[in-house]
Amino acid sequence: MPDLKVRAAEVNKRLKKRHPDAHIELDFMNAFELLIATILAAQSTDVRVNIVTKSLFRKYPDPAAFANANLVEMETDVKQTGFFRNKAKAVINCSKAIVERHGGEVPQTMEKLVELPGVGRKTANVVLGNAFGKNVGIVVDTHVTRVSGRLGLTASADPVVIEQDLMPLVPRKEWTIFAHRLIFHGRRTCHARKPDCESCVLNDFCPSVEITADRPSPASSTGRSARAATPSSASPSQSRTSRSPRGRKPSKSV
């Protein structure tokens, strides 16, 4: 564990320097909009979801409007995000639960959020960390799964286990931003199919650098071992800005 903590601290430090503006890339104005956007982000992109929600939130400005929406019409409204039938049901049913059980307000606890239709731990972490500033857990999406595995911070492919592996490695106050840094790194450098190991600021101690540089493999490149390699010196760089995130299978809770 001490070795992993040292490595995680070095990862966090270098990615903070590399991506000083790491942030959620979904657009939202309040907790409810972020909740809906995150549900729609399953197996989609932030860019695509932001395009859809721009008009969606004008048409349905609050939970009551979503709750009273026509299902067929909602399917058309969210079609561009993919899996539109499941997503349309999810956002309508989630909104109904918020109106009926919580007076139209998004609950602010993990326990209450995961009781909402279509909301799992990942989505709840997104909302709690980014809309309410509460570090209850670490968001584990496809990028966090890939990057943390390649860095040897976890040996699991299960998001629940990965989250439990990562939480003891970084200070609680850093949980939300640490996930953003891993996501930024996954989107900009540690790509699934062809990671840019050559320009990676972590390449001097990443246990997967030889594997991924020669033979990119999203799932199998979880790295040699969490115990191999210790960090050495750091390296700098650049970045971008916005306001809000995304996920996976809408029929299940994410």
Do both 19 and 142 map to the same domain?
yes
171 lies in which domain range?
A: 2-23+138-214
Count of structural domains within the chain: 2
* Cβ atoms within 10 Å of 47's Cβ, excluding its own: 10
Sign of CA dihedral 145, 24, 97, 64: negative
Residues contacting 47, CB < 8 A, separation 6+: none
Do both 6 and 35 map to the same domain?
no
Mean predicted confidence (pLDDT) in 213-230: 42
Do both 91 and 41 map to the same domain?
yes
Rounded Cα distance between 231 and 14, Å, is: 10
Least confident of 5-9, 116-120, 222-226: 222-226
Identify the domain boundary among 130, 149, 183: 130
Comparison of pLDDT for 212 and 122, the residue scoring more: 122
Q: Is 174 exposed, middle or buried (0-12, 13-18, 19+ CB in 10 A)?
A: middle
Q: Would you call 141 a catalytic residue per the annotation?
A: yes
Do both 146 and 89 map to the same domain?
no
Do both 35 and 124 map to the same domain?
yes
Instruction: Specify the pLDDT at position 128.
Output: 98
Contact 171, 178 (CB under 8 A): no
Contact 206, 151 (CB under 8 A): yes
pLDDT at 137 exceeding the cut of 90: yes
Instruction: Specify the pLDDT at position 253.
Output: 62
Do both 112 and 152 map to the same domain?
no
Q: Is 76 exposed, middle or buried (0-12, 13-18, 19+ CB in 10 A)?
A: exposed
Sign of CA dihedral 29, 117, 125, 226: negative
Comparison of pLDDT for 180 and 244, the residue scoring more: 180
Instruction: Specify the pLDDT at position 114.
Output: 98
Tokens 């197996």 correspond to 43
Task: Please provide the average confidence, as pLDDT, over all residues in the chain.
Answer: 87
Catalytic residue among 112, 122, 173, 214: 122
Do both 160 and 184 map to the same domain?
yes
Catalytic residue among 27, 46, 141, 165: 141
Contact 200, 190 (CB under 8 A): yes
Residue 170 in any domain: the answer is yes
pLDDT at 55 exceeding the cut of 80: yes
Do both 37 and 62 map to the same domain?
yes
pLDDT in tens, 179-206: 999 999 999 999 999 999 999 999 999 9
Instruction: Specify the pLDDT at position 230.
Output: 44
Least confident of 17-26, 200-209, 220-229: 220-229
Mean predicted confidence (pLDDT) in 87-92: 98
Domain with 79 in it: what CATH number? Answer: 1.10.340.30
pLDDT at 251 exceeding the cut of 70: no
Residue 117 in any domain: the answer is yes
Mean predicted confidence (pLDDT) in 116-143: 98
Instruction: Specify the pLDDT at position 232.
Output: 42
Domain with 169 in it: what CATH number? Answer: 1.10.1670.10
Contact 79, 55 (CB under 8 A): no
Instruction: Specify the pLDDT at position 234.
Output: 40
What is the pTM assigned to this prediction?
Answer: 0.82
Residue 16 in any domain: the answer is yes
Token reading at 206: 């990443």
Rounded Cα distance between 151 and 136, Å, is: 23
Identify the domain boundary among 94, 111, 130: 130
